[in-house]
Amino acid sequence: MPTPSRWPLRVGIVGYGFAGRTFHAPLIDATPGLALVAISSGQRARVAQDWPQVQVVDTPDALFALPDLDMVVIASPNETHAPLARAALHAGLHVVVDKPFTLDLAQARALADEAQGCGRILSVFQNRRWDSDFLAIRNGLNAGMIGRVATFESRMDRFRPQVRDRWREADMPGSGLWFDLGPHLADQALQLFGLPDSIQATLACQRDDASIDDWAQVILLYGQMRVSLHCSMLAAWPGARFAVHGTGGTLLKRAADQQETQLRTGMVPGADGWGADPDDMLVFDGTDTPRAVPSPPGDQRIYYALLRDAVMGYRANPVPPIQAIAVMAVLETAARSARDGKRLSLPLKEEEKALWAQAWER
């Protein structure tokens, strides 16, 4: 790799809530070639305790105005994603937006245009592409272990019976479980199978005092193949993370990737055991005994390493705006399908479908 004009790249984060604290800060700090230098947050004491070498500023505008900053991560509440990303782009910064990209498809398109006009990289933090469970299933499908896929089931379930006092569970723009976990579920499905023909969805509020959806069942239709995306807050036993049925058998991945758990407990990304997954993927072929296939380790640092190289001009953006637009189209269409009780097609333009296909093929 040639010696870059600026090495390492200097990165700032807007927000030090769950996403900024648990994922972005430690992953950035553990990625060679990136330096976490500033955080915009009202939690000055907590940031200073966790990252004493990092400058803390009170507002996003103050962060964007810092000299020599190269890139900023927007890890604030969902309704602030689009305006803050726009402001950062116009400040001359490359921008990472936590999921979901924006509140709706119109905002997503407008923000993508802003990035193109500013000549800056705009990317979305789809870290779950580098989870061990997803990598195991993707490898199994690429190897043709079960022939043609007929049904793909993906679940992200939790057991949190009490509604918590936080914006993610309040009735406000961009909140609800589908907008929280749906971006991961949808992005993984699109990466494996491409754009669906249509979508049929149901959303529900199942917990006492819930004011926004906390259960979702979304079906993506691809000809005769069905992709089922499910998330819930009332699953004390969550079931298998993935179950894939095909003409030659079934792939079963029971346990989820462990990186979030490791990050919550303070493990440094890249430490011994980082991303290790002791849960084998099981391959059923119709006989009594399944075959166990070891799961590869996950490593969400790869997202930031690829993005670093994209900013330096060595490779393509790992999650370009067109892929974020497609995910937003799935999220929005599923919500409309649930509201109207209809099967709906994705409202993507033909040129957007072509751009998505080009990015997918890379």
| 1 pLDDT more than 70 | no
What CATH number did the domain enclosing 55 receive? 3.40.50.720
Q: What is the pLDDT of residue 173?
A: 81
For 282-313, what is each residue's pLDDT tens digit? 999 988 899 999 999 999 999 999 999 999 99
Mean pLDDT value across residues 121-150: 98
> Tens digits of per-residue pLDDT, 342-353?
999 999 999 999
320 domain residue, yes or no? no
Q: Is residue 224 part of a domain?
A: yes
pLDDT band at 174 (very low <50, low <70, confident <90, very high): confident
Q: At 5, is the pLDDT very low, low, confident or very high (cuts 50, 70, 90)?
A: low
- Same domain, yes or no: 139 and 248: yes
**Torsion on CA atoms 62, 68, 69, 71, rounded to nearest 10:** 150
What percent of the chain lies above the pLDDT cut of 90? 91
- Domain end position, chosen among 109, 125, 141: 125
- Domain boundary at 76, 98, 125, which? 125
Is 102 within the bounds of a domain? yes
Return the closest-CA partner of residue 137 out of 36, 21, 227: 227
List the one residue out of 212, 225, 236, 156 whose CA is nearest residue 188: 156
Whether residue 132 sits in one domain with residue 270: yes
**Mean pLDDT across 134-159:** 97
Judge if 133 and 261 occupy the same domain: yes
| Residue environment code for 75-88, b if the CB has 16+ CB neighbours within 10 A, otherwise e | bbbbbbbbebbbbb
Residues 113 and 156 in one domain: no
Q: Which helix (H) or strand (E) holds 94?
A: strand 94-97
The pair of structure tokens assigned to 9 is 């790249």
* pLDDT on residue 187: 98
* 189 in the same domain as 206: yes
The yes-or-no verdict on residue 199 having pLDDT over 70 is yes
- Pair 300, 130: CB distance under 8 Å: yes
Q: Is residue 20 in a domain?
A: yes
Residue type, 330: V
Task: Please give the model's pTM, rounded to 2 decimal places.
Answer: 0.95
Average pLDDT, the chain: 95
Answer whether residue 210 shows pLDDT above 70: yes
Q: How far is CA 271 from CA 143, 262, 299, in A?
A: 30, 10, 11
CA angle at residue 195 from 331 to 361, to 5 degrees? 125
Domain assignment of residue 252, yes or no: yes
Whether residue 311 lies inside any domain: the answer is: no
Looking at residue 214, its pLDDT comes to: 93
Question: 308 lies in a domain?
Answer: no
Answer with the one of 105, 125, 145 that is the final residue of a domain. Answer: 125
- How sure is the predictor about 3, in pLDDT bands with cuts at 50, 70 and 90? very low
What is the domain count for the chain?
Answer: 2
pLDDT for residue 119 is more than 70: yes
CATH code, domain carrying 287: 3.30.360.10
Question: Do 252 and 116 sit in the same domain of this protein?
Answer: no
d(C-alpha 58, C-alpha 349), whole Å: 40
Which residues have a Cβ under 8 Å from the Cβ of 336 and sit 6 or more positions away? 344
Helix-helix angle 105-118:81-90, to 10 degrees:
10
Question: Do 108 and 62 share a structural domain?
Answer: yes
The pLDDT of residue 6 is above 80: no
Asked whether the predicted pLDDT for residue 161 surpasses 80, the reply is: yes
Q: Which residue has the tokens 């589908």?
A: 178
In a domain, 52, yes or no: yes
Q: Which residues contact 339 (CB under 8 A, 6 or more apart)?
A: none
177 and 251 share one domain: yes
Kind of pairing, strands 198-204 and 215-222? Answer: antiparallel
Domain check: are 87 and 234 in the same one? no
144 and 73 share one domain:
no
What is the per-residue pLDDT for 351?
A: 96
* Phi and psi at residue 325, to the nearest 5°: -60, -45
Distance of CA 192 to the CA centre of its chain: 15
Please state the φ and ψ torsions of residue 9, each to the nearest 5 degrees.
-70, 140
Residue-wise pLDDT for 33-78, tens only, equals 999 999 999 999 999 999 999 999 999 999 999 999 999 999 999 9
Is the confidence at residue 170, as pLDDT, over 80?
Answer: no
Domain that includes residue 247, residue range: 128-299+330-348
Query: Does residue 338 sit in the same domain as residue 243?
Result: yes
| Helix H or strand E segment including 259 | helix 259-264
Return the closest-CA partner of residue 130 out of 29, 260, 294: 260
Cβ contact 273:285 at 8 Å: no
Tokens 């033909």 belong to residue: 350
Give, in degrees to the nearest 5, the angle at Cα 157 between 15 and 153.
115
Please state, in angstroms and rounded to a whole number, the distance separating the CA atoms of residues 346 and 150.
21
Radius of gyration of the chain (CA): 20
- Residue 2 pLDDT: 35
| Residue type, position 200, single letter | Q
User: Both 222 and 77 in a single domain?
Assistant: no
* Cα distance between residue 297 and residue 188, in whole Å: 17
Q: Is the pLDDT of residue 4 over 70?
A: no
